[in-house]
Amino acid sequence: MTRYLGEFEYAVLLALLRCGEPAAGVDIHDEILGTTGRDTSIPAVYVTLSRMAEKGYVRVARGKPTDERGGRNKKRYQLTAAGTRALMRSRDLFARLWEGVELSPQRGD
């Protein structure tokens, strides 16, 4: 059965992609905040990352130690091939639904 991403999962994976190299939860959180202005909670990000790790969309990768983390080598997350495919599926789903749709704020009244 084809599985599609949930809304927040979509956002997290995309943000992870934008971050580039393996990123931690706080990085994803800041990326979402900076790009969209949406203030998420870091624990929620991690819960989502755990869930997607179970599904195989992300994998844990040890990143390079930085001064920020007190020099410790900590857990980062990285997109897998399955994750990339899931992202593409969801993108296509919404793109096709949006095709030919005109939307204005007054619509629906």
Partner 1 sequence: MTPPKLAQLLLHLCLPRSIRAQVLEDLAVGFGRRVGRNGMWLARRWYWSQSVRSLAPRVQLRRLRDFAHVRAAVAFDAAYAVRSLRRAPGFTTTVLVILTAGVGVCTALVTVAEHTILRPPPYPEPDRLYLLRESHEAQGIRDERTSPENFLDWRARSESFGGIASWRPMPLIVYGPERGEFVNAARVTRDYFDVLAWDAAVGRVFTDEDFAAAWYDSAEDYIGGGPLRGVISHALWVRQFGSHASVLGTTVGTELGPVEIIGVMPAGFRPPLSIAEIFLPVEFRDDGVGRNSRFIDVIARLRTDRTYDQAVAELDAISTHLAAAYPGPNAGWSIRAFALQEYEVADDRAALAVLFGAVGCLLLIAALNIAGMQLARWTMRARETALRRALGASRLRIGQQLVVENVILFALGGVLGFFGSIPILRVLLAMSPQWDSTVDRATPNPAVFGLAVAVIALIGLVAALIPAFRVSGEHGTMAVSRGGRWAGPGPAVLRRAFIVGEIAVTLVLLVAAGLLARSVLEVQRVDPGFDPSRVAVLRMFLDKDRFGWSSGYGGSPRAYYARLTEHLEDLPFVEAAGGIQALPMLPANTIDFARPYWRPDEIRPGGDSRLADVRLITPGYFDAVGMHMVSGREFDNSDDPTRPEVIIVNESLAKSLFPEETAVGQALMIDYRGVRSVQIVGVVNDVRFYRLSQTARPELYLPHAQVPYRALSVAVRVSTDPRRVLPDLREAVLQLDPLQPVQEALTLDALVERSEAERRAQAWVVGSIAAAAVFLAGTAIYGILAYMVAERRRAIGVRMALGARAQQVGMSVLVESVRLAAAGAVLGLLFCVPLLLAVRAHLFAISAWDARTFATSGLTLFVIAALAGLIPAYRAAQTDPAEIMRTD
- For 80: left if phi > 0, alpha if psi spans -120 to 50, otherwise beta; the answer is beta
68 sits near partner 1 (criterion: CB under 8 A): yes
Stretch that binds partner 1, among 44-52, 78-86, 87-95, 101-109 (CB under 8 A): 44-52
Q: Which residues 2-21 are close enough to bind partner 1 by CB under 8 A?
A: none
Stretch that binds partner 1, among 13-21, 35-43, 82-90, 93-101 (CB under 8 A): 35-43
Q: What phi and psi, each to the nearest 5 degrees, are found at residue 51? A: -60, -40
42 sits near partner 1 (criterion: CB under 8 A): yes
Residue 67: burial class (beta carbons within 10 Å; 0-12, 13-18, 19+): exposed
* Closest separation in Å from C-beta 104 to partner 1: 34
Q: Using alpha carbons, select from 76, 9, 4, 83 the residue that is nearest to residue 44.
A: 9
The size of the interface with partner 1 (CB under 8 A), counted in residues, is 18
Choosing from 24, 32, 79, 87, the residue that interacts with partner 1 (CB under 8 A) is 24
